[in-house]
């Protein structure tokens, strides 16, 4: 089962699913990786946090894999000795084969060639499996491991220490999530698109301010470009704040549990994890003295802003709240005066832009969204 904020009809969505051998890495590498990802507001599934205590349930894990964007598989010395890890890997590779998850292998203190060819210690581990498991099961494990090792990943021996490895992994995950939210026509290294937006946005953000909480809106008609821009802005500036939180898709929260879920989701995320602790009073007291960044993406109801404002009105000086929506009147109704407007380029302008940066005509994705900044406006 998932944590208390989810239900059987609305499974939680994750950015990253972590697959690892607990006895090798849970208290070391995995704990640091998980902390880094959560600190970047990258929603991460880690079985000992997301599942209730007791035995792990295959159906729940499969649901988590299917509802994740990236599966990060940390292959350590004893990963292939674990029947459970190998069965989990089979599930991951099956979902990957359907095109529903991106797989990123991390070879931690093991040689990728040993894993791919299943020699040395890996061979010993499989000999034991063959004595205990049926033939078809072992074959499926071998195939999954071979397929995994054929995917480009990261290897600990290529980095001088774990901190460098963590930096590489988290940057790659962040980039993958950013561009997965970007429609094909925007995937142009963002030299024209997002960088131009940031140039327009920076004066509105007032990142050096120590005044009261600032609330600004980002308005655009299309969804993909707006969401990609919101994540891009967040990744660019979150390190300037003591606490930070990115709420991915506020609109997607089921209506019948929207307000309580939204506030719980924010309070849990701002702690830097997904524990069940709901000590909102203690959290608010801490946030009153901190510079906080909150990005609430894809808001579509005034009630959602009301729920969040109960918390962000308590943020410390210099805090910043960014609300993205396709409903400009919603921002005005809430009293947000600073609104950054994003207008979609017309089709022929998209074509002209692609020609300028050297794309071939057949590469164009006609009708997709490519956004350009027009202004950050002070609404009266």
As annotated, the active-site residues are: 88
Identify whether the C-beta of residue 222 lies closer than 8 Å to the C-beta of residue 326.
yes
Phi, psi of 75, deg, nearest 5 = -90, 110
Neighbours of 242 (CB within 10 A): 14
**In which order are the strands placed within the sheet that holds 14-19?**
44-45, 14-19, 68-75, 102-107, 154-155
Beta pairing partners, 68: 14
| Residue 248, Cβ density class (10 Å: 0-12 exposed, 13-18 middle, ≥19 buried) | buried
Neighbours of 157 (CB within 10 A): 12
Q: Check residue 157 and report its DSSP letter.
A: G
User: Which of left, alpha, beta for 107 (phi over 0: left; psi -120 to 50: alpha)?
Assistant: beta
CB-CB neighbours of 165 under 10 Å: 21
Which of 171, 202, 193, 223 is CA-nearest to residue 349? 193
């Amino acid at each position: 089962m998932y944590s208390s904020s989810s239900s059987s009809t609305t499974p939680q969505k994750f950015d990253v699913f972590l697959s690892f051998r607990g006895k090798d890495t849970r208290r070391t590498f995995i704990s640091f990786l998980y902390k880094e990802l959560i600190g970047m507001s990258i929603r991460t599934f880690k079985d000992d946090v997301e599942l209730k205590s007791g035995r792990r349930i295959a159906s729940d894990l499969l649901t988590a894999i299917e509802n994740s964007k990236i599966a990060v598989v940390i292959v350590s010395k004893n990963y292939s000795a674990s029947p459970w890890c190998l069965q989990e890997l089979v599930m991951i590779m099956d979902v990957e084969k359907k095109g529903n998850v991106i797989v990123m292998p991390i070879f931690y203190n093991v040689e990728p060639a040993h894993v791919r060819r299943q020699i040395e210690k890996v061979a010993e581990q499989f000999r034991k499996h063959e004595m205990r498991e049926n033939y078809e099961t072992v074959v499926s494990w071998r195939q999954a491991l071979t397929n995994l090792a054929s995917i480009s990943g990261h290897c600990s021996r290529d980095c001088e220490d774990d901190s460098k490895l963590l930096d590489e992994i988290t940057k790659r995950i962040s980039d993958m999530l950013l561009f997965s939210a970007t429609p094909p026509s925007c995937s142009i290294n963002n030299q024209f698109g997002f960088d131009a937006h940031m140039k327009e946005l920076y004066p509105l953000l007032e990142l050096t301010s120590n005044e009261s909480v600032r609330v600004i809106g980002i308005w655009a008609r299309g969804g993909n470009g707006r969401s990609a821009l919101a994540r891009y802005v967040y990744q660019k500036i979150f390190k300037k704040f003591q606490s930070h939180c990115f709420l991915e898709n506020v609109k997607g929260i089921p209506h019948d549990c929207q307000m309580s879920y939204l506030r719980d989701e924010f309070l849990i995320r701002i702690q830097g994890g997904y524990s069940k602790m709901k000590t909102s009073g203690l959290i608010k007291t801490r946030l009153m003295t901190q510079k906080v960044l909150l990005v609430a993406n894809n808001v579509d109801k005034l009630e959602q802003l009301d729920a969040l404002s109960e918390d962000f009105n308590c943020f410390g000086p210099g805090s910043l709240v960014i609300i993205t929506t396709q409903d400009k009147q919603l921002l005005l109704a809430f009293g947000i005066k600073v609104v950054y407007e994003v207008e979609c380029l017309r089709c022929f302008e998209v074509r002209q832009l692609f020609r300028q940066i050297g794309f071939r005509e057949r590469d164009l994705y006609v009708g997709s969204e490519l956004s350009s900044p027009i202004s950050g406006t002070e609404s009266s």
